[in-house]
Amino acid sequence: MRKIPVSLLHPGMVLYRPVYGPDGQLWLNAGVELKSNYINSLWRAGISFVFISDPYLSDVVVSEVVSEETRREAVKTVKETLQIAKLPKRNSLLLDRRFSSIVEKLVSEVLANKDVVINLADIRDVDDYTFFHSVNVCVLSLLNAADLDLSKARLEELGAGALLHDLGKIWISEFTLKKKGSLTPEEYYEVKKHPTFGFEILTSQANFSPNSAKIVVQHHERCDGSGYPHNLEKDDIHSYARLVMIVDVYDALTADRPYRLGMKPHQAIEIITDCAESYDCSLLTSFLKHIAPFPVGTALRFSNGYLGIVIENRKETPLRPVVRIFKNGDGFQYREPFDLDLSDKSNLQINEVLSDAESEQELPVMTKYRKGVIKWQPK
């Protein structure tokens, strides 16, 4: 499995994961061989990357925290909930049984997979960023909270607030939210109102927990008092919000936005840890155990010149993945690649994380991107 930007796709590549449309409809299924018109359609749809099958990684299995079906159902539910929230008479419609059901399903699946390390990013339509972001923040928050011995009821409180943490953005102009350039001071002031807007909507809902609502109003606060809207400090911020704020920043940094491409996971983690005083340190430490800085499929160059691809991450050693080595320090391509567990190789350091374009240049090039056995063709 390789994560490939749409700009680097070639006809004949085979999809590893399915691609869905904005309303959850299946566009291209796993196993489909890409054609030029498919690639052009992905580009026009604003999809940044897809996951492609690689015959030299065919034995690599990537576990998911929640199923693709549940994730898509959650995205659709968030989208419909935000649409209802715009209606004048929304009180009896906003948080219906369907919303509660998807929160319960997300909690159940996360609890069943709480030891999974997050490797795969979601394939998103840039225009639907808010909905995909909301679901990702919910899943990652629940995964982190699963280590805290919270009851199922409390996890559902957390999940509901995380799923709707950006609800207030329905009252922010689309132009401002999707602006490609820097925001003016006036536009940034407008964006900073969304936690309060969301809180006001949800506190009018009799069946929405006050603890969940605190996530909505406090997820942009910071433990050092530098956040908004109320410049609260750590002890005044609800523990749910202290957790969600970390996840919210991570997912925002790694997502493609109209004004920039998403960062690599290790880059986002560096930014967050450089500002560790802004966050609850114990929750940050727990969060980092669940996130792979170098997801499966990442190309790495090592201190001895080895070049390889990450094939496995473990919760206990997130910075020391298992890597499949394809080239040595002299650039020689091994006829039979071999695997190294970095947790057993303390003297071997990661020197470089290759970009997608560099990975395509440096790693074994296939004569044809076709199903079945493929012969390498060294550059």
The SS3 call for residue 106 is helix
- Per-domain boundaries in the chain: 2-53, 68-290, 299-377
Q: Say if residue 126's pLDDT is above 60.
A: no
The predicted structure's pLDDT at residue 34: 92
Do 258 and 179 meet the contact criterion of CB atoms below 8 Å apart? yes
Q: Identical fold at 2-53 and 68-290?
A: no
| CA distance linking residue 300 with residue 128, whole number of Å | 31
Residue 12, by phi and psi: left (phi above 0), alpha (psi -120 to 50) or beta? left
Split at pLDDT 50, 70, 90, the class of 93 is low
- Domain covering 68-290, topology: Hypothetical protein af1432 (1.10.3210)
The predicted structure's pLDDT at residue 371: 42
Q: Say if residue 117's pLDDT is above 80.
A: yes
| CA distance linking residue 351 with residue 364, whole number of Å | 20
Q: What are the DSSP calls for 144-202, one per residue?
A: HHGGGT--HHHHHHHHHHHHTTTGGGGGS-HHHHT-SSPPPHHHHHHHTTHHHHHHHHH
Q: Say if residue 376's pLDDT is above 60.
A: no
Adjacent-strand bridge partners of 345 = none
- Does the domain formed by 2-53 have CATH 3.90.105.10? yes
List b or e across 275-311, with b for residues whose CB sees 16 or more CB atoms inside 10 angstroms: eeebbbeebbebbbbbbbbbbbbbbbbbeeebbbbbb
Split at pLDDT 50, 70, 90, the class of 353 is very high
Write out pLDDT tens, residues 26-81: 899 999 999 999 999 998 887 888 888 888 888 888 888 999 889 989 999 999 99
Kindly state the helix (H) or strand (E) to which residue 265 belongs, with its residue range: helix 265-274
**Other Cβ atoms closer than 10 A to 361:** 11
Q: Say if residue 379's pLDDT is above 60.
A: no
